[in-house]
Amino acid sequence: MDREINTINYLPDFLKEFREFGALAEAENPELLYAWDVYEELLKNQFVNDSGEPGVKRWEAILGLLPKGSDTLDIRRFRILARLNEKLPYTRRILEQQLAALCGEDGYLVEIRNGEYTLAVRVAMAAKAKFEEVGSLLRRIVPANMVIDLSLLYSSHSKLAGHTHAELSTYSHEQLRNEVF
């Protein structure tokens, strides 16, 4: 924050006349600016969305998360928020709320196959970077007697039907299947 700190303004008028107090005030001004900057940084690090590198490291240590070398600060914040959003009871509705927070409202599909004791979760290609975190979330909250079937929700014919063959011919089959259009 841009602060103007001039401690000489806080001195009584008769002390402002002394050269020593003026020099003392000038020496204190940078120290007070530094103290304000440190305070603001500490305040930001209390909130995950505003945290910088030191705050994110602190949250990761508290929650026992290990960042990957390729993770950006936003991905690390995302993992912290994902861990903080876990809560009991683990109902389908709570699971869908957590998946919506992680992947977006249209970023996943959930299907419970009761007869097979299977939970099928499909993560949309747009949320592909968060696939591993979704798997970690499911391993922590899905009951141990259920099989987790987690995969990506690839592009289907219905998503590509609006494009002509000529438009799609510039892409490989793998690109059509794995990329977001």
Rounded to 10°, the helix 92-103/131-141 angle is 160
Radius of gyration (C-alpha) of the chain in whole angstroms: 27
Instruction: Please report the pLDDT score of residue 177 as a whole number.
Output: 56
Query: How many C-beta neighbours within 10 Å does residue 106 have?
Result: 11
Domains of the chain, by residue range, sit at 7-44, 91-178
pLDDT values of the chain reduced to their tens digit, one per residue, 181 residues: 567 888 888 889 898 889 999 899 999 999 999 999 999 999 999 899 999 999 999 999 999 998 888 889 998 998 898 888 776 667 889 889 889 988 888 888 899 999 999 999 988 877 677 888 889 889 988 888 999 999 887 655 556 567 676 776 677 666 655 565 5
Contacts of 54 by beta carbon, 8 Å cutoff, 6+ apart:
41, 45
The whole-number pLDDT of residue 119 equals 93
DSSP state of 4: -
Whether residue 107 contacts residue 93, with contact meaning beta carbons closer than 8 Å, is answered with: no
SS3 category, 14: helix
Q: Residue 61 and residue 57: Cα distance in Å, rounded?
A: 6
**Which tokens sit at 130?**
């968060």
| Under 8 Å between Cβ of 124 and 108 | yes
Q: What is the pLDDT of residue 33?
A: 92
Please tell me the predicted confidence (pLDDT) of residue 38.
92
d(CA 67, CA 40): 25
What is the SS3 string spanning 37-58? HHHHHHHHCCCHHHCCHHHHHH
